[in-house]
A and B are shown apart, each in its own frame.
Chain A
């Protein structure tokens, strides 16, 4: 699903590479935690998967595509296969729950008929049934993140990228979000999640990939958050 070969990335204004010779292979259907302190290169890793950035050297393969060779005009179609969730939810404040979810379909040209069929389905899946007409402001943090997950999932992506999705949530709410992500993973969607939340990593016991100052320092099949922290 995802293969990085000797990937390094140095940003223009910096001398130290954000990623330094990282090679890793993530299988389809895996649930992978990406951990590391701030500045370890997690965000750069995720941005490379989305082709928001290109590596300075090495190759990135996602869903069978060499992202270095993917022409610019094919990037939107590529991104439709990937769902994204962030710490700050990134919802549109002036749109309701249903409209926020439908937005992802509307801007990719899905028919109204299909949108109307799929949105309630996904609302149900993420546990927001009955709240379709609320605005984001009227929801709790956990509920807002559910909306974001619904929006990421509504296109049935093969890969879900989550950048600290529980970073703004209390532990109780986080557990609910993790259960939801786990459920999505069981539908066959590969999940890559960057996190600082040791409790979650330790509870889930999934594959752990750890970065430290741009280097891959640990890749463990059923890992815990770690000893060195």
Chain B
């Protein structure tokens, strides 16, 4: 059964990655290439870079302003900024910890992380980052529903719900695992899933079946989420600093002013 679950998971990762790669090419790579390299209709068939447009290598300042401090959201409101910081940092740190978990426990097993305290710390980090993300998403959902009219152009409710369900099913999968494996050696490091498991374990439900269903749902939602990234507003995860680097170039604004001035003459 475990083998079947992992086969299903890896096949889904590959299909999801296929959509992701196609989307990244269609909506990021080819568009940036088109902005930077303008076709030259000359007989040689070569392409020359439009030197008036800045290369989209994000400067340190732009990365700091757009990806870390997230100045544009801060300018909108302190609440929206706090919510987005929770989501952004929760998501990035959860992704990093999940990769470290797979690396140290499966790919290059290190005893400290496989059977030692290190595994507990990784589990604690997974729960903490997941909780930060979950709180941010829940705040975002409440705000999006309360201010539906103003926010509908900025926030896609379906995408927010998708990510919320990804995190919620993750916690529920872990809680269900603790119900069927109550003597897990690292259960005390799970400060969210373990209490949920203790509170619900008394119910006479089919916990093994529920765990399999929840695990499969969580895996499908994660694969769907990654496949969606380049085709939806999630694309901002990758392109926000790049896009701003193109549009915030000093030359771009000067050229824009010149173009407007030409139109006026």
Q: Do A and B bind each other?
A: no
Chain B residues in the interface with A (C-beta under 8 A): none
